[in-house]
Structure 1
Amino acid sequence: MIKTTTERRFWLIELLANWEGRITNGHLQHYFQLGRQQASKVINQYQDAYADQLMYCASAKSFLPTPTFKPEYISIDVAEYLNWISGQSAHLPLADDKYQLAHAILAPPARKVSPHIMRPLVQAIRQGERLEVDYGAVSNPDNGGRIIVPIRFVNTGRRWHLRAWCEKAQDYRDFVLSRLHGIPSPEGKCLGPLPADTAWQTQLTLRFKPDPRLTDAQQAALIHDYDMTNGELILTTRAALAHYLLQEMQVNIKMLDGNPAAQQLILLNHDEIKPWLFT
């Protein structure tokens, strides 16, 4: 978690050095409104703290990442950089001049969630309280009342859910936030300790490989695309999130898509994962 001003500055140094191949005093001056000497001091502080990360190139008038560059503040996921240049990162403001890059963002339709619904949920999570809510699922569109104990918010890639203990189901359930109706009604503290959320606490390993119906060239493209090891993509997730991950990966587990180019990947260890999938 990036918190202090120094961490934010070091984060930017690494982000630009890693993904753009250079960092200059000008970058720091622009994003942090620093003077040239102060910007130079920040880079020197970074070099003092993390030796052999950057090297100065006089011809480029920039600091370049060394061959042994190993970032301390950024991830190796390019999405972090792309989120930043597209204005979706909270670390720094989006560039508005020569540092900007052309980009486009797909904007799916927003899910309607009222603040009047969110506020009781947030309070219940913080206070360990029960709530009576009206929830309309696609499988049961009639708004049915139930008492829940909200635990956490979960982003499944496509939308936000509330994970909660459901007294009606006597189990943990995921509730799509936009399908909650009315205003949740407080029902006081929990009646007793909640059972362990086994599906949340259990870690699963999902193994994928290219659909064997694809040509060798198509399979090779997928292996490169996902940076697979020995022709397999290994992902670890909580059991409670496994089904969402498969949906996000567009992997059909019930039947193969008739078009292998649409299916692309198959799940190798379906039998291991199946007990945790939604029925």
Structure 2
Amino acid sequence: MSIPEHHRHWLLELLIWWEGRITPRQLAEHWQVSRQHASSLLQDYLKAHPNSLDYQPSNKDYQPTEHFQPRLLTQDVTEYLEWATRQTLPPRKDNLSQLPHEILQHPPRRATPQIMRPLVQALRENRRLDVGYISLTHPDNQGRIIIPHHFVNNGQRWHLRAWCEKSQGFRDFVLSRFRGEPELLDTSPITPDQDEGWNTQLTLILEPDPRLTPQQKQVLEEDYAMQNGQLKINTRACLANYLLKSLQVHPRILEGEPEAQQLVIVNKDDIKPWLFG
């Protein structure tokens, strides 16, 4: 299997920067090559960037040194999370087969490797985590213990779904609001199976704002490929509010102009228990 050098080095840097370690086994599994071949590719990187990684015999992994500096990364955590959740490739270095296009970019949210590495490890090993966290409700840095189980992209930003011992419930934690360096603790009996909001499936039923003209309604019905004038979307209950927000649907109020509202929720009573506020 021929792996372009740009792809090889990008993945190495991505894992080292955001996870703090890398093993030949990881690379072999991802690239579907032998572990020996993966080790040789790792050595190629070290030849090009000496003193950037240290081998740790006790863990059988490579970790970044103080001299490590990623050269191919944006250093935006979104780049890592999109790879880790979708296995996306790095940006192409050529323009072959690409159509002219532009992608709207949201402002990057602050998340450092020092914060992300313990979060990733705790999630994979089902461990408790002592973290500092701020919010608009509590702008002072509050310590709390959480047990994370999923990273979630709500369309605008990434957050962490986790059990919060302080609140005694599952909550969403915005990645950019963690502070300090999280401390890994022991394993926890809390599992994603206990998250009712995560495991409850809802069907959102939407239709064009009734104040629109028949012609305007038809435009929306065709836009969303509606069936019998309705759009049905399945989602996890705890994500329903984010989905409605991304569609600019206000479940409690109507915009002054129907052209601004466009869609309304039909089964409001079904989702009411899962709305914020």
TM-score, length of structure 1 as denominator length: 0.65
- Matches of 1:145 and 1:131 in 2, distance apart? 10
- Matches of 1:142 and 1:219 in 2, distance apart? 47
Residue 111 of structure 2 aligns with an amino acid whose one-letter code is: V
Measure how far apart 1:92 and its partner are. Answer: 8.9
User: Hey, what does 2:240 align to over in structure 1?
Assistant: 242
Secondary structure, aligned partner of 2:194: coil
Secondary structure, aligned partner of 1:261: helix
1:164 to 162, 165, 182: 162
User: Hey, what does 1:210 align to over in structure 2?
Assistant: 208
Matches within 5 A, 1:19-38: none
- Matches of 1:181 and 1:91 in 2, distance apart? 29
User: Hey, what does 2:227 align to over in structure 1?
Assistant: 229
User: Hey, what does 2:182 align to over in structure 1?
Assistant: 184
CA 1:118–1:91 in 2, change beyond 3 Å: closer, same or farther? Answer: closer
User: Hey, what does 1:96 align to over in structure 2?
Assistant: 95
Residue 95 of structure 2 aligns with an amino acid whose one-letter code is: D
- Matches of 2:88 and 2:173 in 1, distance apart? 27
User: Hey, what does 1:266 align to over in structure 2?
Assistant: 264
CA 1:153–1:105 in 2, change beyond 3 Å: closer, same or farther? Answer: same
- Matches of 1:245 and 1:135 in 2, distance apart? 25
Identity of aligned residues (%): 52
1:140 to 138, 141, 144: 138
Moved beyond 3 Å, runs of 4+:
91-95, 192-195
Secondary structure, aligned partner of 2:225: coil
> Is the radius of gyration larger for structure 1 or structure 2?
1
Aligned length: 193
Measure how far apart 1:193 and its partner are. Answer: 4.2
Secondary structure, aligned partner of 1:245: helix
Q: 1:115 and 2:100 equivalent?
A: no
- Matches of 1:92 and 1:132 in 2, distance apart? 35
- Matches of 2:91 and 2:121 in 1, distance apart? 29
Residue 245 of structure 1 aligns with an amino acid whose one-letter code is: L
2:123–2:150: 8 Å Cα contact kept in structure 1? yes
Measure how far apart 1:277 and its partner are. Answer: 1.4
2:133–2:142: 8 Å Cα contact kept in structure 1? yes
Q: 1:150 and 2:148 equivalent?
A: yes
- Matches of 1:141 and 1:92 in 2, distance apart? 37
- Supply the RMSD in Å over aligned alpha carbons: 2.3
